[in-house]
Amino acid sequence: MWIFGRKGESGFGAFSTAEDVTKGIDGTGLTAIVTGASSGIGTETARVLAMHGVHVVMGVRNTEAGRTVKETILMETPDARVDVIELDLSSLASVREFAAEYCSLGLPLNILINNAGVMAPPFTLSKDKIELQFATNHLGHFLLTNLLLDTMKKTSREHEKEGRIVNVSSEGHRFAYKGIYFDKISDESSYSPIYAYGQSKLANILHANELSRQFKEEKVELTANSLHPGGIATSLLRHHSFLEGVVDWVGKYFLKTIPQGAATTCYVALHPQVKGVSGEYFVDSNKAKPSSLAKDSEFAKKLWDFSLGMVAP
């Protein structure tokens, strides 16, 4: 259990679970995509949204695991609407296929939760020859979001309801610094797994902030925010057996449970307190301050242009 943290202005804190922060909220009529929903906080996010009537589309790399999660959700909430579509965020081709399939279904899209990620693996290149963490954590979500923006804008107009984009980042973004890995993301000689992870998590925040700026400029009813879910013992640590051992030993005292870890995501995605709030960074279901670099609007524009070039067909 997380032993630190108090309730903030929202009325919630580090102890709050995803069910706590969504209590009494009716999500009927909303449709959400949750990436990486076959494990960890992605699974809990999908479960809780579905429990509140949201039609959840799970974008997952392992569709068998995704279908198992779907069956579990339906056992708990028999009238839940849950679909599973294959999505490998590390592959730009897979992202395009997912977006094309989703759009072909004619579904609306109110909420996009960019949750999937990998953490500090050994140096690995994606199918597109891009460093795996940058490819998965940022670039795949960047492309996915761009491909679905028209659907989200159309939905917000037709439903007369605000659409929300939620980027799951991390306090790891504070390990990042300007320039490195954006320009050398496929260079093994300068590779550090932790710094590369931090850079990808910084990119999540910058992406949300630049989206928010564009939405305000276009005067569309969409918001984009980022968040840190908290320290959680999940499969993200699978590349670091020593850290897994430490987590097993002290985790119950210092780490959040998965239901607590999914709370901020569900809060930002669904809670009426967040209506109209955009370009913010959340921790423990409250607004928080990211690093100064994460608030650099010029750097956010640079990343946007760099990412557009990387995903160009």
Q: Which residue has the tokens 């460093």?
A: 131
Question: In one letter, which amino acid is 86?
Answer: E
Q: Domain for residue 9, yes or no?
A: no
Which residues are marked as active site? 191
The per-residue pLDDT for range 176-229, each reduced to its tens digit, is 876 545 555 556 777 889 988 999 999 999 999 999 999 999 999 999 999 999
Domain count, the chain: 1
Domain housing 265: 18-307
Arithmetic mean of pLDDT, 54-77: 98
Q: Which residues contact 181 (CB under 8 A, 6 or more apart)?
A: 131, 134, 190, 195, 196, 199, 200
Q: Which residues contact 121 (CB under 8 A, 6 or more apart)?
A: 132, 133, 193, 239
Arithmetic mean of pLDDT, 80-90: 98
Please state, rounded to an integer, the average pLDDT across all residues of the chain.
91
Token pair recorded at residue 310: 């990387």
Q: Domain for residue 104, yes or no?
A: yes
Please report, rounded to a whole number, the percentage of residues in the chain having pLDDT higher than 90: 82
Q: Domain for residue 312, yes or no?
A: no
Q: Domain for residue 92, yes or no?
A: yes
Q: Domain for residue 6, yes or no?
A: no
Q: Domain for residue 10, yes or no?
A: no
Q: Domain for residue 2, yes or no?
A: no
What are the C-alpha distances in Å from 70 to residues 38, 77, 205, 259?
A: 9, 10, 29, 17
User: What's the CA dihedral at 46, 35, 166, 28 to 10 degrees?
Assistant: -40
Classify strands 222-228 and 163-168 as parallel, antiparallel or unpaired.
Answer: parallel
Write the CATH number for 299.
3.40.50.720
The per-residue pLDDT for range 295-305, each reduced to its tens digit, is 999 999 999 99
Q: Domain for residue 173, yes or no?
A: yes
Could you tell me which of 169, 179, 153 has the C-alpha nearest to residue 207? 169
Residue 288, number of CB atoms within 10 A of its CB: 14
- Give the lowest-confidence range in 123-137, 158-172, 210-224, 235-249: 235-249
Q: Which residues contact 217 (CB under 8 A, 6 or more apart)?
A: none
Alpha-carbon torsion (174, 178, 182, 185), positive or negative: negative
